[in-house]
Amino acid sequence: MKTSRRKFLQSSTILASLASVQRLFANNTKPVNKPIVISTWNFGVGANAEAWKILSKGGRALDAVEAGVQVPEGDPKETSVGLGGLPDRDGRVTLDACIMDEFSNCGAVACLEHIVHPISVARKVMEKTPHVLLVGDGALQFALANGFKKENLLTAESEKKWKEWLRKSEYKPIVNIENHDTIGMIALGTDQNLAGACTTSGMAYKMRGRVGDSPIIGAGLFVDNEIGAATSTGLGEEVIRICGSHLVVELMRQGNLPQQACELAVKRIVKNQPGKSKEIQVGFLAVNKNGEIGAYALQKGFTYAVCSNDVPNKIFEAKSFY
């Protein structure tokens, strides 16, 4: 009697573990042990290379994305991120950034001036304060109190472009022209944990105080360690209207692959703003827990960089709606 009961228990344990393996495959959640980092635009290549130094050694995805996006932030030739970013219409370089880890911890700064690496200030907000977002003078004060150096971010080149712009003062967000572009980066570590970072100087010649999607958790970036992560670039107002990156992650939660999720989010913008969507650019990138990726944009020309053991840091062009 005892023996048959033990046998019954043994066989039901085996059946239960078989069922959980089946569930794993049915949900398409086959475990992978492959680090991957993806980021927006061509400058993603340099950023990925830096992130990869950390990821390839088994480092934390959070450290990788912070180090990665610091590359364009510190490059004065990149006029849409960090040092050398094109200013607002008053000639002030104001930066937006956010970061999110595998525990849903997140930190952000908006309209921050004089600091080359806003992403690192965002990380400090996440780690050292009970808050998520600091803005303007408060963000600067916090940065200075935490040892960041006050610097002039307006390069001679960006100042020249701003003065040329002032002659007509025409404000029209042009598709893919380098008057805006954000680095959004998402990474999956060897430990299968996700993290993301997003940083920008925002729309060139924007109104003073304007903040786009990039530092808004759920708009410019969202990470859910159970499901996947997403980031965006393009006209931030349109991304905010649909909570873009959060939407992409939720669409993945509903069973969509990252590519389908990015496409559905872009189509939501088209549905909401059919006329306007022809004139503007928005692009999404996504990664799920399997390391599968997605990329889609409103217009042609949205490029992104991928680096993994299989893809040696290469630029791709995303498919687009138009």
Q: Is 268 in the site for ligand ASP (CB under 6 A)?
A: no
Sign, CA torsion 39/42/43/45: positive
Which one of 213, 224, 250, 263 is in contact with ligand ASP (CB under 6 A)?
213
Question: How many residues line the site for ligand ASP (CB under 6 A)?
Answer: 13
Return the structure tokens found at 145: 């109190």
Query: Taking contact as CB under 6 A, which single stretch among the options 56-64, 135-143, 229-237, 291-299 is the one that binds ligand ASP?
Result: 229-237
* Binding string, residues 160-189; x marks residues near ligand ASP by CB under 6 A: --------------------xxx-------
Q: How far is the CB of 138 from ligand ASP (least distance, A)?
A: 20
Distance CA(116)–CA(120), nearest Å, equals 9
Phi and psi, residue 260, nearest 5°: -60, -40
CB of 58 to ligand ASP, least distance (A): 31
Is 233 a binding residue for ligand ASP by CB under 6 A? The answer is: yes
Nearer Cβ to ligand ASP, position 66 or 88?
88
Q: Is 263 exposed, middle or buried (0-12, 13-18, 19+ CB in 10 A)?
A: buried
What SS3 state is found at 199? strand
Note if 182 is an active site residue.
yes
Torsion angle of alpha carbons 137, 245, 204, 208, nearest 10°? -30
**Which member of 182, 231, 233, 303 is catalytic?**
182
Contact between 39 and 185 under an 8 Å Cβ cutoff? The reply is yes
Task: For Cα atoms 127, 78, 126, give the angle at the middle one, nearest 5 degrees.
Answer: 5
What span, in angstroms and rounded, lies between the C-alpha atoms of 31 and 38? 19
Least distance from C-beta 277 to ligand ASP, angstroms?
Answer: 15
Of residues 46, 85, 212, 258, which one binds ligand ASP by CB under 6 A? 212
Residues in the chain: 322
Instruction: Give the interface with ligand ASP as residue ranges (CB under 6 A).
Output: 180-182, 200, 202-203, 212-214, 233-236
Q: Which residues are catalytic?
A: 182
